[in-house]
Chain A
Amino acid sequence: MRALTAKSKTYLAEIATLLRGETKTISAWSASWNAPRFLRHVGVIVLGAGLYGAAMGLWRDPQQALYVAIKFPLIILLTTLGNALINGMFAPLLGLSISFRQSFSAIVMSFTITAAILGAFSPLIAFMAWNAPDMAAKNFSGSTYNFILLAHVSAIALAGMTGNVRLFQLFAQLGGGNAVAFRVLFAWLAGNLFLGSQLSWILRPFIGSPTLPVEFLRKAVFHGNFFEAVLHSLRQIFQFN
């Protein structure tokens, strides 16, 4: 029992180091590969993003909560894997001399920070979902939906920004300087947003809709893409044909 407590204290201290952005320690971690530490970081992503996903889906249905708890970490992990190669190539091309393994480890650590923050917000989001009028209720209004959407956007934006700020600090510590760190971060961010958006589109729904059934994936999973949908919405807003 004591060993377990000591271990959990060590893990918590590791997460706290990441959150505090202690760049010297973090750059040392990224320089030397350590499989158990890497697995712990993946564990934080699964747990943190999973808890947040569950809280997000809870408003629609408990079954939806379970689905989103699986899908949310999946998006992060698939985005990391899908862009690992191109991100590893971008870093040296843009002036940051780090190995492929270091770049992969840096992205995982950045997402670990994001997931830890999301996990900490999950009780707040669950409390909000528990208090929100039922989606199918008569008194349900669009303003409630917009408020919940805004809360999710704020929480995810805060978590994402913090993860990226810490990544920027790490790049600067790794010898790139601020200009190089900014270039690499911008390139990685663009790639991750591009792939991440499409993965979210494929793995929809997340919050869910009262008029559509609760399901793990929509019927037309690969029908269209995120950017087509945005373009379609813009056309509708501005009445283009």
Chain B
Amino acid sequence: MNDTTPVPPRIPPQIPPVIGPNEPRPLGDDPSERAPINNVVAAIDAILRHPRRVMFQLYQPGAGNLIGMMVLVVVACSLIYGVVVGTFSGHDQLWLAPAKISTGLMISALICLPSLYIFTCLSGSQARLVEVCGLLAGLLMLMTILLIGFAPVAWIFSQSTESLAWMGALHLIFWFIATIFGLRFLATGFSHSHARSHAGFHVWVIIFLLVAVQMTTALRPIIGTADTVLPTQKQFFLAHWGDCLKAPDNGLKSNSRN
């Protein structure tokens, strides 16, 4: 009479973790996000199509290789875009513009990295310095990849116009659009670091934009030409832009210090 049929152990039903309406979906919950990024092409593909995959990998131990690859892409893309910028004036600007853009971008990132880390900590985030470095590298990579996308348009305009002011404005617009996407990547990555507040991050975004814009003035001329490689007169970017607009020959290619 005894029932010998084994009774399977009771397994409680699997309840998915409760995610608040404002909380982001945890990184790596989709198995495709866990796929390792082994080469530069995969890194570029991932940041464009699956940015969460890049973020997941950045939060894993040994993210240094990925960050290295991202920096490599940033340098390469900024150099290529720099050549396109240099084609407006030609001659020395063909190597000076890429060198200045690439160096300026890296220096801007280095200048802003300590404050980004401090603001990240102040907001209660648990992100480590290497993760913050990775997110910043992601911002720069996405930004420079998008600039490469804009490069053919910029080249066509640089060959067909003589106006420095117009080319300056065009490059600024392209840079601004690319930066917005880069910052969106950074903000998404930041939201996964358990930060209590985003106020500090927003302050940092303003600081980063100001530093990057000022860098273009500090390393001028980037588009136009001048007698010296670097400016002899120090100026803040608003004063410089004002001078450019006031200059009587601002529509000519030969105008210097842009």
Please list the residues of chain A having a beta carbon within 8 angstroms of any beta carbon in chain B. Answer: 12, 15-16, 19-21, 116-117, 119-124, 127-128, 130-134, 137, 139, 144, 147, 162
* Beta-carbon contact of A120 and B111 below 8 Å: no
* Beta-carbon contact of A124 and B118 below 8 Å: no
Q: Which 9 A-B pairs have the closest CB atoms?
A: A19-B121, A120-B114, A120-B118, A123-B111, A120-B115, A16-B121, A133-B234, A20-B124, A127-B111
* Assembly CA distance A21 to B196 (angstroms): 12
* Beta-carbon contact of B236 and A124 below 8 Å: no
- B234 touches which of A15, A124, A132, A162 (Cβ 8 Å): A132
* Beta-carbon contact of A21 and B234 below 8 Å: no
* Assembly CA distance A134 to B121 (angstroms): 35
- A124 touches which of B117, B124, B207, B233 (Cβ 8 Å): B207
* Beta-carbon contact of B129 and A117 below 8 Å: no
**Complex interface: chain A residues within 8 A of B236 (CB):** 131-132, 144, 147
Q: Can you pick out 15 interface pairs between chain A and chain B where the beta carbons lie within 8 Å of each other?
A: A19-B118, A19-B121, A20-B122, A116-B118, A120-B114, A122-B114, A124-B207, A124-B211, A127-B214, A128-B214, A131-B214, A131-B235, A132-B234, A133-B235, A144-B236
* Assembly CA distance A131 to B124 (angstroms): 33
* B43 interface hit (Cβ, 8 Å): no
Please list the residues of chain B having a beta carbon within 8 angstroms of any beta carbon in chain A. Answer: 110-112, 114-115, 117-118, 121-122, 124-126, 128-129, 207, 211, 214, 217-218, 233-236
B178 CB to nearest chain A CB (Å): 22
Closest to B218 in A: A131
**Complex interface: chain B residues within 8 A of A127 (CB):** 111, 211, 214, 218
Told that A123-B112, A130-B218 touch, could you supply 14 new A-B pairs with CB distance under 8 A? A20-B126, A21-B124, A117-B118, A119-B114, A121-B115, A124-B111, A124-B112, A124-B207, A127-B111, A127-B211, A127-B218, A130-B234, A131-B218, A131-B236
The SS class assigned to the B binding surface is helix
Closest to B110 in A: A123
**Complex interface: chain A residues within 8 A of B118 (CB):** 19, 116-117, 120
B211 CB to nearest chain A CB (Å): 6
B129 CB to nearest chain A CB (Å): 6
* Assembly CA distance A118 to B164 (angstroms): 39
Known interface pairs A124-B211, A132-B236; A12-B129 also in contact (CB < 8 Å): yes
**Complex interface: chain B residues within 8 A of A120 (CB):** 114-115, 117-118
